[in-house]
Amino acid sequence: MAQAYDVLLVRHGESESNAVGRFAFHTWDPHLTENGQRQAQHLASQLAQAPIRHIVTSPLIRAQETIRPLAQMIGIDSVVVSGLAEVNLGQWDGLSVADLEQSNDGHFKAWRKDPEANPPPGGESILTVGRRVLASLEEFVETHEPGLVVAATHSDCIKGAMLLITKSPGPIARNLFIPNGGHLLMRYFPTMPRWVMVMSSLYFPG
């Protein structure tokens, strides 16, 4: 039987951009709030007994700060993987959600309904994000020793991966909610079906 690799995708804790309702990608790389720091500590406590072999993270500060307490607790250095970065928000980068909603921007409304068919102007679609996330993780697991990988990333990165694995259309993304500090366990096979989602409490005893 082919070797399978488990990857736990983790959304970063609450960031300063989350707290004020602003998009953040290139123009702003915010830190975690105090609440986000508590979520990062809670994540570390949750995973303290998990058989973690590798930790990878988005290059953005909020993801790195989320995974740092866990990395320090278990003594594993995190590796930055650029493909785990936030969705490219194009022309909306740095703008507040409230301002976009009040502007009556038709493109923003369309994106709210279907982020695949209506990506941000100059930005990425939801499935494009999912493809780069899964491709980056495949490259990592295939070049490292087997074992549980914890990957700190962003909400739309997790949503995009879920849509691809379940072969779901873009609008389904609006029915998915990944809270700050939330996580999704996936399993990768070198042969088809490649990726599956795992509904398991294996890494969360008790």
Tens of pLDDT along the chain (206 residues) come to 457 899 999 999 999 999 999 999 888 999 999 999 999 999 999 999 999 999 999 999 999 999 999 999 999 999 999 999 999 999 999 999 999 989 878 899 999 899 999 999 999 999 999 999 999 999 999 999 989 999 999 999 999 999 999 999 999 999 999 999 999 999 999 887 789 999 866 555 44
Return the residue matching tokens 């703008």: 95
**Is 0.75 topped by the overall pTM?**
yes
**Cβ neighbours of residue 173 closer than 8 Å, sequence gap 6 or more:** 115, 116, 126, 156, 159, 160, 163
Instruction: Delineate the domains of the chain, giving CATH numbers in brackets.
Output: 5-20+32-87+125-197 (3.40.50.1240)
